[in-house]
């Protein structure tokens, strides 16, 4: 089955309200009528306002994290119910900045994945190895572990609402990109690992994005690889021109 191309932007802790609204408005215009799936991962405080801008467009509203627990006494947390209340359909989980800066464990990420899926959200689950792990020849092992741990307890039916983002940590925000051949090799490995965890059909259907300094200049070659079905874009998602150019690639 042909997989749709899925390009997601991760705005991280960037923009202010005016810039967020202007960026969202520009993207709605630029992506109007284009095929494929598009999502923007917006800072929590701007989700409501940006949601009003993308409503009715072909751009999905995404959050960059969610609580593992339901509403209640959890100071500072944001629940799935709150996200859905403002129109969020998708959530980015397991991003390397949350794994390595905040210290999120695979166990916590898995709880968030299961919570988001149980409550009807779509998940982009990020995985990827550190530079030292790649140099030690452990990239596949790390990805396999993060996939197995992140998806523990997720049913094959729920997996239809999961996208995997392979993001080698050494390529995020550094300007370094995996070569298309290296990225393709890991994507194929991850797809085969999904086949082992679920089924060949599930593996063939799942969308696997590449993330790590993807930009208009390298997007075409990366997206041309057989097992690279889209991108999770950080820096280049903050300008309508560069994000739209990647979507057009
Ligand atoms: C990311 O943070 O998901 C990412 C891929 O960032 P960048 O595109 O800036 O490398």
Task: Supply the pLDDT for residue 158.
Answer: 98
| Catalytic residue (one of 95, 97, 122, 187) | 95
Residues 43 and 11: beta-carbon distance below 8 Å? yes
| Beta bridge partners of residue 59, listed in sequence order | 38
Residue 69 above 60 pLDDT? Answer: yes
Q: Is 218 in the pocket of ligand 1 (CB under 6 A)?
A: no
pLDDT digit string, tens, across residues 116-174: 999 999 999 999 999 999 999 999 999 999 999 999 999 999 999 999 999 999 998 88
Q: Is 167 in the pocket of ligand 1 (CB under 6 A)?
A: yes
Mean pLDDT of 6-35: 97
DSSP, res 5? P
Mean pLDDT of 33-37: 94
Task: Supply the pLDDT for residue 219.
Answer: 97
- Domain residue limits, the chain: 6-30+37-68+77-126+145-248
- Please tell me whether the overall predicted TM-score, pTM, comes out greater than 0.75 for this model: yes
Percent of the chain's residues with pLDDT above 90: 96
**Topology of domain 6-30+37-68+77-126+145-248, CATH:** TIM Barrel (3.20.20)
pLDDT digit string, tens, across residues 37-53: 999 999 999 999 999 99
Q: Is 10 in the pocket of ligand 1 (CB under 6 A)?
A: yes
* Index of the ligand 1 atom closest to the CA of residue 95: 3
Percent of the chain's residues with pLDDT above 70: 100
Task: Supply the pLDDT for residue 78.
Answer: 98
Is position 74 annotated as part of the catalytic site? no
CA distance 229 to 128: 16
Q: Is 211 in the pocket of ligand 1 (CB under 6 A)?
A: yes
Q: Give the residue, by CA position, lying nearest to ligand 1 atom 3.
A: 234
Q: How far is the CA of 197 from the centre of ligand 1 (A)?
A: 27
* Index of the ligand 1 atom closest to the CA of residue 171: 10
- Going by C-alpha positions, the residue among 159, 142, 165, 17 that lies closest to residue 92 is 165
Task: Supply the pLDDT for residue 173.
Answer: 85
pLDDT digit string, tens, across residues 198-234: 999 999 999 999 999 999 999 999 999 999 999 999 9
- Average pLDDT of the residues of the chain: 97
| Beta bridge partners of residue 40, listed in sequence order | 9, 61
C-beta neighbour count of 156 within 10 angstroms: 12
Q: Give the residue, by CA position, lying nearest to ligand 1 atom 4.
A: 234
Q: Is 213 in the pocket of ligand 1 (CB under 6 A)?
A: yes
CA distance 155 to 52: 32
Is position 167 annotated as part of the catalytic site? yes
Q: How far is the CA of 243 from the centre of ligand 1 (A)?
A: 12
| Catalytic residue (one of 97, 122, 133, 167) | 167
Residue 1 above 70 pLDDT? Answer: no
Residue 89 above 70 pLDDT? Answer: yes
Mean pLDDT of 171-200: 94
For residue 150, what are the contacts with CB-CB under 8 A and spacing of at least 6?
Answer: 93, 94, 106, 109, 110, 113, 125, 127
């Amino acid at each position: 089955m042909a997989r749709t191309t899925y390009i997601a932007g991760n705005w991280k802790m960037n923009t202010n309200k005016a810039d967020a609204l202007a960026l969202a408005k520009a993207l709605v215009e630029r992506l109007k009528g284009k095929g494929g799936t598009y999502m923007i991962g917006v800072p929590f405080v701007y989700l409501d306002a940006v949601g009003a801008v993308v409503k009715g467009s072909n751009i999905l509203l995404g959050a960059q994290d969610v609580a593992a627990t339901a509403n209640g006494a959890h100071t500072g947390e944001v629940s799935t119910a709150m996200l859905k209340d403002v129109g969020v359909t998708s959530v980015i989980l397991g991003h390397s900045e949350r794994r390595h800066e905040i210290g999120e464990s695979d166990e916590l990420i898995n709880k968030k994945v299961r919570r988001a899926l149980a409550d009807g959200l779509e998940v982009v689950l990020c995985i990827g190895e550190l530079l030292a792990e790649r140099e030690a020849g452990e990239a596949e092992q790390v990805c396999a572990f993060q996939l197995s741990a992140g998806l523990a307890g997720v049913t094959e039916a729920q997996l239809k609402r999961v996208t995997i983002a392979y993001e080698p940590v050494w390529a995020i925000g550094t300007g370094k990109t995996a070569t298309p051949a290296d990225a393709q090799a890991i994507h194929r490995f991850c797809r085969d690992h999904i086949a082992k965890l679920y089924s060949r059909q599930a593996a063939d259907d799942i969308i696997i994005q590449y993330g790590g300094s993807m930009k208009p200049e390298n997007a075409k070659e990366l997206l041309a690889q057989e097992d690279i079905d889209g991108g999770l874009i950080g820096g280049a998602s903050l300008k309508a021109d560069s994000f739209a150019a990647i979507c057009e690639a």
